Amino acid sequence: MERFALAAAVVLGFALTAALCSLFVPLRRVLERREQNQQPAQSEQPRPAPLRAPLWGGLCAAAGTVAAVGVGWLAACVGQPELLGSEGRLMTRLLTALAGSLAFGAVGLAEDLARMRSPAALGLRRDVRLLLEALAAAFVLLLLRAAGCLPRGLGVPGAGYVLLGSAVPFLWAVLMVALAECARIAERDEGTVCGAAFVAMLALMMAEAGLGVPGLAVLPAALAGALVALGLWAFPPARLGVGCCGSLLAAGAIGCIPLSLDMTSLTVPLALPFWAAGGLLAAQLLGAKRTGKPLRCWVKKHKMSPETVFLCSFALSAVGYVLALALLRWC
C-alpha cells in the first residue's frame, strides 16, 4: 500500500500540474493579446516585451502538489492506520514540511506579483523580501518547536550527531533564507530549478524510505511529479515560466523536509545547483566592485545556451544526490 501511495502521489502531481499548465498557457495568450489591443496606436514609445506571467507555473505546481499529497497520505493511512498516531509525529512532520514549502512559495508569489505590476519592475525591495523569507522560516521553526520536532544539532561525517545548543533556530533560519535567495537567482535560467529540485526530491524519497518512514515520502513524490510536468512547459524555449513562486516552493521543500526529519545536513548537497548560482553571482558582484567594471552575467558573457545551463545544473544535482546518499551512511 505504501508503494501505491507513492505512485499515486507522483502520478497525480504530474497530471494535475500538466492539466493546469495546459489551461494557463492559452489564457496567458488571450491576456497578452488583450493588452496589445489596449495599447494606444499613436504611441511612439517602444512597448516593452510582454511578461511571460512567470507566477502561473509555480501556482500550478503548488496546487498539484497539495492535492497529490492529500491523496497519497490518505492512501498511506488506509494501508497503515498507525501513521496517524505514531510516536514519531509523522503527520505533524509532513504537514509542517508542506506548510513551510507553501509559505516560501507565497513569498515567491509576492515577488512575481510585484514584477508584473510594471514591465520595468524588479520585484520586492530586498529588505522586504528578506523579511518575508525570515518570517516563513520562523513559521516553520515555531511549528516544529511546538510539536517537539525541532532538531537540536547537525549530523557531521565522522563526528556523528553534534549538538548546537541555543544557536539551532538561528542557524536553520539563516540556512533557509540563504537557500531561498539562491533559488531566486537560479530562477533566471529557464528550467534549471525544475531539474535540480526534481533530483533533490528523488533523493529525499529514497532517504525517507531508508529511514522506515515511507509515508512521509508522499510530499517529495508529489512535488517530483509536479516538477516533471512543469519542466515540460518551462524547458527552453519556455511556454510557462517557473517564476519565484515555483523556485521558492522547491527551495522551501528542500529546506523544510530535511529539517522536519532532523536531517538538515542533506540540505547542503541537495541544493548544490542553487548554492552554485548564488555563489557565482556573489563572485561576479565582488569582481565588479573590485575592478569598477559593470556587472556582466557570466553565463551570457561566455555565450552559454539555456540547454547547456540546464545540463550543467542537472549534473550538479546528480553530484549532490550522490553526496546526500553518502551523508546518510556516514552520519
**C-alpha dihedral, 262 to 266 to 270 to 275, nearest 10°:** 100
> What pLDDT was estimated at residue 38?
60
176 within 8 A of 137, measured Cβ to Cβ: yes
Q: Mean pLDDT over residues 44-58, rounded?
A: 52
> What pLDDT was estimated at residue 78?
82
**How far is 46 from 64, CA to CA, in rounded Å?**
38
- Taking alpha carbons only, the member of 107, 112, 164 closest to residue 138 is 107
Q: Mean pLDDT over residues 312-326, rounded?
A: 88
Cis check for the bond before 237: say yes or no (omega within 30 of 0): yes
* Residue 235 grid coordinates: 524547458
- Given a cut of 90, whether residue 136 has pLDDT beyond it is yes
> What pLDDT was estimated at residue 28?
66
Per-residue pLDDT of 222-237, as tens digits, reads 999 999 998 888 777 7
- Given a cut of 90, whether residue 62 has pLDDT beyond it is yes
Q: Mean pLDDT over residues 99-123, rounded?
A: 82
